[in-house]
Amino acid sequence: SAFHWRYDTAQQRELLNRLWAKTYVLLNLFTPTRKPVRVDQGRDGRRKTVYDEPRTPWARVLEHDAADRAAGGGGYVVDDARRRIEGIIAATNPARLHREIAVIQDELERVSRDRTEAMARRAGLDMGYLGKAIERMRADAGQNDK
């Protein structure tokens, strides 16, 4: 995970901007989420949250837009924005996007590690635990990719 290091140089800022732009596309256009609809209570008194069907945030916006237009409103999404976003969706390979995000995270970690660790040493902090945690997370991520 690239978010454990200190970022304060122009190169790091540029990498973060690229990372955030790609993450925005991945999360809002390709990652379905479930939203809670209601909370039921079973006979045993336990609460159970009931969720809707998974949809991407973009699909939810389009549903609200269609409902508003059906009710006589002007909708929420202008046609130019809709065409632009649909073009992004059509031109984007989510698997490649995941790989590009991982490459940027690795580069960000590489350019940030030495400076962060030097600052931690000056402050008397032990960053050893963090490196071990990152290695465990990488190993877990590698197993999930298979």
Quick: pLDDT tens for 71-105: 999 999 999 999 999 999 999 999 999 999 999 99
Summarize pLDDT for 32-59 with one digit per residue, the tens: 999 999 999 988 999 999 999 999 999 9
Which pairs count as long-range contacts for 103-108, CB under 8 Å and 24+ apart, including other chains? Answer: 104/2, 104/15, 104/18, 104/19, 104/22, 105/1, 105/2, 105/19, 106/2, 107/15, 108/2, 108/5, 108/7, 108/12, 108/15, 108/16, 108/19
Is residue 131 pLDDT above 90, yes or no? Answer: no
Query: Of 31-35, 39-43, 107-111, 112-116, where does mean pLDDT reach its minimum?
Result: 112-116
**Its pTM surpasses 0.85:** no
Question: Is residue 69 one of the residues assigned to a domain?
Answer: yes
The answer to the question of residue 4 being in a domain is no
**Would you say residue 2 lies in a domain?**
no
Structural domain of 52: 10-145
Indicate the number of domains in the chain. 1
In a domain, residue 92? The reply is yes
Whether 1 is covered by a domain: the verdict is: no
> Quick check: is 110 in a domain?
yes
Residue 3 placed within a domain: no
Evaluate if residue 111 carries a pLDDT over 70.
Answer: yes
- Nearest Cα neighbor of 110 from 10, 41, 11, 34 is 11
